Structure 1
């Protein structure tokens, strides 16, 4: 498991297949509310316990894209980190996430294309040992760092 680079982000030549980073994020009522406000997604399965209790989920669940956003946080702040730019993302959701769960967002370098400076990342979300989502992201990574300003 790698830690954030001292500069804030890894450049292309510092990356290798298999590098992995993760972030652990607790799911709270407040986090779901803030995500609903930011995304304008107030689906009652996320917001209304009485409504959600009558669904197949038997209670409120977090937005799938809330959990997916934690993978984005890993990409933007740890691996590859600052300077990386998302080009694409695929996602498959496998299990619901509920208030009180802790989501582990894990990102692993799967392939590196030195010609295009593109990196393919395997992205997973887990609650405990249960896979809640997975997919693949392609990001562009800087080839060099910007010089520090005096």
Structure 2
């Protein structure tokens, strides 16, 4: 497991297949409300306990993309970190996430293309030992650091 690079981001030449980073985030009522506001997704399965109680989930669940955004936080702040630009992302959701769950977002370098400066990342989300989502991201990574101004 690696931490953030001292400069804020790893450059292409510092990455290797197998490097892994993760972040844990608590899904709170406030996060769900803020995500609903930011995304304009006020689906009652996320916002209304009485409605959600009558669904197959038997209660409110967090937005899937809220949980997925925690993976984005790993990519943007730890691995590769500052300077990485998302090009694509696939996602599969396996289990719902509820208020007060702790989501562990894990990102692992799966492949590096030195020609295009593109890195393929395996992305997973867990609540405890349960896989809640997984997918693959492709990001462009800087080849060198920006000189200090």
Q: For residue 148 of structure 1, report the CA deviation from its aligned partner.
A: 1.0
Q: 1:35 maps to what in 2?
A: 35
Q: 1:78 maps to what in 2?
A: 78
In structure 2, C-alpha distance between the alignment counterparts of 1:10 and 1:29, rounded to whole Å: 33
Q: What RMSD, in angstroms, separates the aligned Cα atoms of the two structures?
A: 0.3
How many residues align? The count is 149
In structure 2, C-alpha distance between the alignment counterparts of 1:100 and 1:69, rounded to whole Å: 17
Return structure 1 stretches of 4+ with deviation > 3 angstroms: none
Matched ranges for 1:89-128 at <5 A: 89-128=89-128
SS in 1 for 2:90: strand
Q: For residue 138 of structure 1, report the CA deviation from its aligned partner.
A: 0.1
Matched ranges for 1:1-150 at <5 A: 1-149=1-149
In structure 1, C-alpha distance between the alignment counterparts of 2:49 and 2:146, rounded to whole Å: 49
Q: Deviations over 1:45-96 (max 9, x none)?
A: 0000000000000000000000000000000000000000000000000000
**Runs of 5+ unmatched residues, structure 2:** none
Q: For residue 8 of structure 1, report the CA deviation from its aligned partner.
A: 0.3
Q: Deviations over 1:76-125 (max 9, x none)?
A: 00000000000000000000000010000000000000000000000000
Give the TM-score normalised by the residue count of structure 1.
0.99
In structure 1, C-alpha distance between the alignment counterparts of 2:146 and 2:73, rounded to whole Å: 22
In structure 2, C-alpha distance between the alignment counterparts of 1:92 and 1:9, rounded to whole Å: 27
**Runs of 5+ unmatched residues, structure 1:** none
